[in-house]
Amino acid sequence: MPDFEEQKNIIDAAVEAGVKSLENGFFSFNLPARTAELHQPGYHSHRFSWSNLSTVGEAVARVLLAQNSPIVVNQYVRVRSFNASQDEILKSLISVTARIESARGLDTVEWKQINVDLEEKVVEARNTLALGDTSKLRYILSKTIYNTGGNFDDEGVVMNEKLGMMPPEGLEAAIERELIKLLPQ
């Protein structure tokens, strides 16, 4: 189970510093620049559960159904669209980007992979956050996600099926759906 107090402290610090939302690319993927910062040592291969907005919306609707009340009362509700590591996300980004650009007659731009020491980035982020600069907060959030485990299937706590949710679309489909909108025509 995640350390709620640690999460609360980070959230409180972020709010106090003026953070209103997470920027796109907070998990170190930059589509326009075609760069991926892979978190070292070894974090980049850690798989955890991701949820897109449609999955979250369906979960909220299902939680409000009276028939699901016994399932969710006094429980964390953990749902996921897919499980993936940074490595898996990057592999899918490379594949789907190339496929879409090829279909549109565009030149495929290679992705640049940059290995970053997440521990060093967290120290930098804490120092800049203390000065009111939230530009590196993504590193603190990433480290917190890694520390909580976060793979709901491995932890045996995923609730999609218990809530009667539709099967999730999966990593590749989610990336393709978004890249179709984001890549040049």
What are the domain boundaries of the chain?
A: 4-16+32-182
pLDDT for the residue 4: 52
Q: Where are the alpha helices (DSSP H) in 18-117?
A: 53-63, 69-72, 86-103
C-alpha pair distances (Å), 64 with each of 24, 50, 129: 29, 22, 37
Nearest one of 45, 115, 53, 54 to 84, comparing CA atoms = 45
- Measured CA to CA, the distance from residue 93 to residue 103 in angstroms comes to 15
Q: What is the mean pLDDT of residues 78-91?
A: 95
- pLDDT per residue as tens digits for the range 115-143: 999 999 999 999 999 999 988 988 998 89
Contact 59, 77 (CB under 8 A): yes
pLDDT for the residue 9: 62
Q: What is the pTM for the complete model shown?
A: 0.82
